Amino acid sequence: MDFAHIVPSSNAPSAWLDMEALDHNINLVNQKTQAVNLRLATKSIRSIDVLHYIKDNSPNYVGLMSYAADESVFLLENGFDNILCAYPTLDKDSVAQTFSYTDKGAKMVWMVDRPEHVEILNQVAKDHAVIVEICLDINMSMPLPKLYFGSKRSALMSKKDVKALLKIIKKCPQVKLTSVMGYEAQIAGLAEHVPGKTLLTPAIRLLKHRSKKQVSQRRNSIVAWLKKQDYALELVNGGGSGSMDFTSSQAEVTEITVGSAYYKPAYFDYMETMQEFKPAAGFVLPVTRHPEKGVITCHGGGFIASGAVGADKIPVVHYPKYLSILADEGFGEVQTPMAIDKRATAINIGDFVWCRHAKAGELNEHFNELVCYRQSGSITIAHASKDKKGLKTMMTYRGAGQCFH
C-alpha cells in the first residue's frame, strides 16, 4: 500500500487493513499448506467479516480454532459450523448453548488435557443428554535441564500421560475422543531475531532444529498408538503461522491452524519463516501536537501486546520512515510523542503516522472496525459495511459488542 498517498478515513485513530497485502498472505498460506486442511485461528483475526473473507478465498479451509466457549457460541451464531475450541473451558453454560447447533449437524470439539476438563464436559453433556467431542492437547514442548523450550499448557506429554487420561475418558460415556492437537508453539510462534536479543539467534535456531525432530516423533507415535487402540481420529491438528512448511509436511497431521500470518503483525517480522508475508493490518494515528523542533505528538497509540514484557511487544512505526519512539514515554495511553530524524520528510499537525501492532488479533480489541484500503480496483467483500466516507470496513469482535477471553 502506498501510504504516502492514502488519506485515512478519519482524523481520529483508526485501524487499517491493506487488502492487497491480505490477499497476498492468503495466497501464500494456501500455497504453503496445500497438503493439509486449513483451520483459522480466530484469536489472531477477531473479526467475523475477515474470517468469512479468508474462508471464501481458501480452498482447503475446513473450520475455525476458537479460543473460548462463549466465543464458539458467537461463531456458530454467525454461520460457522466446524469449530475446535483450543483451550480447555470450565464455562458450562456456553458449552450447553452450542448443543442446539451440534444437534443440527455443526461440529464442535473441546480441548482436554486433565481429568477435570473431561469430567465437566461429561456432566454438561449428561445434563442435556448429548455426546460431546473432545480433543487431546499433546504438549509439544522440549524440556531441557535449565530451559523449558516451549509453552506450559498441557499436562499430556508422554504416552503414559495419555494412557492415564484415557482411563478417565473411558469412564465418561457422554464424551467421545475424536481428535488430537499437538501445537509446536516454540517452532510456530517464537522469533529468532527479537530486538535487543540478537545474541540468542543461533541458540534459538539450534533449539528449533532439535525440537522439530522431537515434535515429529512424539506427535506421530502418540497418534499411531491411539489409532492402534481403535480410536478413529477425525482430525490431527498442529502448527501455526511460523511453522507452515514444517507442520504441513508431517505425515500424522491432517490439518494446520493459521491466524497471525494473515495480518502479519510486527512480532512476525522477527521470524525467519515469515519473511515473504506482507504487513496487512495496523493502526493510523493523527499528528495533533508539535511540542518542540524535531518532535511530533500523535493522538492515541498505547496498544501494547501480551506476553513476556519486552521491546518486541510494542508497536512499530510503519510509515513515514525515520520516526522513533521516545524511550521515556513509549506508546502512550492517549498520546505518543515521536522524534523526527533529519532524514524524514516534513511532518505537520494534521498528517498521519501508520503503525503496526506487535500481535495480530489484539489490534482489534482497540477498534470497532478495520478500514479496508485497496489501491487497484474496487474491493469485493461479501460481508463488509461502509463508513461515512464510503470506504469499506470490516467489523471487529469489539465493533460487534463482543469481548471474549
Ligand X SMILES: Cc1ncc(COP(=O)(O)O)c(C=O)c1O
> Nearer to ligand X by C-beta: 9 or 247?
247
> Nearer to ligand X by C-beta: 191 or 323?
191
Instruction: State how far the Cα of 397 lies from the Cα of 248, in Å rounded to an integer.
Output: 29
Q: Is residue 298 a contact residue for ligand X (CB under 6 A)?
A: no
Q: How far is the CB of 268 from ligand X (least distance, A)?
A: 8
| Helix H or strand E segment including 263 | helix 260-263
Instruction: State how far the Cα of 179 lies from the Cα of 254, in Å rounded to an integer.
Output: 10
Selected from 41, 135, 156, 177, the binder of ligand X by CB under 6 A is 41
Q: Is residue 44 a contact residue for ligand X (CB under 6 A)?
A: yes
Q: Is residue 240 a contact residue for ligand X (CB under 6 A)?
A: yes
> Nearer to ligand X by C-beta: 222 or 340?
222
C-alpha cell at 185: 508453539
> Nearer to ligand X by C-beta: 248 or 297?
248
Cβ-contact 301, 336 below 8 angstroms? yes
| Amino acid identity, position 231 | Y
Q: Is residue 156 a contact residue for ligand X (CB under 6 A)?
A: no
Q: What share of residues in the chain are helix, strand, coil (percent, to 5)?
A: 35, 25, 40
Selected from 33, 154, 257, 364, the binder of ligand X by CB under 6 A is 257
Q: Is residue 241 a contact residue for ligand X (CB under 6 A)?
A: yes
In the bound complex, which residue of the shown chain has the CB atom lying closest to ligand X? 240
Cβ-contact 391, 42 below 8 angstroms? no
Strands (E), 156-261: 175-182, 235-238, 255-258
Q: How far is the CB of 338 from ligand X (least distance, A)?
A: 29
Selected from 360, 372, 391, 394, the binder of ligand X by CB under 6 A is 360
Q: How far is the CB of 134 from ligand X (least distance, A)?
A: 15
Cβ-contact 320, 2 below 8 angstroms? no
User: If binding means CB under 6 A, how many residues of this protein chain bind ligand X?
Assistant: 15
Query: Bridge-partner residues for 256, per DSSP?
Result: 38, 238
Instruction: State how far the Cα of 11 lies from the Cα of 367, in Å rounded to an integer.
Output: 14
Nearest to 305 by CA among 369, 362, 365, 260: 362
Following CA atoms 137, 142, 143, 145 in sequence, which dihedral angle do they give, to the nearest 10 degrees? Answer: 170
| Amino acid identity, position 299 | H
Each residue 175-194 as x (binds ligand X by CB under 6 A) or -, in order, gives --------x----xx-----
Q: How far is the CB of 72 from ligand X (least distance, A)?
A: 14
DSSP states of 107-165? EEEEEESSHHHHHHHHHHHHHTT--EEEEEEB---EEETTEEES----SB-SHHHHHHH
> Nearer to ligand X by C-beta: 259 or 301?
259
> Nearer to ligand X by C-beta: 183 or 373?
183
> Nearer to ligand X by C-beta: 108 or 296?
108
Q: Is residue 58 a contact residue for ligand X (CB under 6 A)?
A: no
> Nearer to ligand X by C-beta: 13 or 259?
259
Each residue 82-121 as x (binds ligand X by CB under 6 A) or -, in order, gives ----x-----------------------------------
Q: How far is the CB of 125 from ligand X (least distance, A)?
A: 23
Q: How far is the CB of 261 from ligand X (least distance, A)?
A: 6
Q: How far is the CB of 6 from ligand X (least distance, A)?
A: 27
Cβ-contact 58, 22 below 8 angstroms? no
Selected from 13, 63, 259, 301, the binder of ligand X by CB under 6 A is 259
Instruction: State how far the Cα of 42 lies from the Cα of 404, in Å rounded to an integer.
Output: 11
Q: Is residue 274 a contact residue for ligand X (CB under 6 A)?
A: no
> Nearer to ligand X by C-beta: 244 or 355?
244
> Nearer to ligand X by C-beta: 267 or 303?
267
Selected from 72, 98, 260, 297, the binder of ligand X by CB under 6 A is 260
DSSP states of 299-340? E----PPSSS-SGGGS-EEEESSSEEE-TTT-S-SSEEEEEE
Interacting residues with ligand X (CB under 6 A): 41, 44, 65, 86, 183, 188-189, 240-241, 257-261, 360
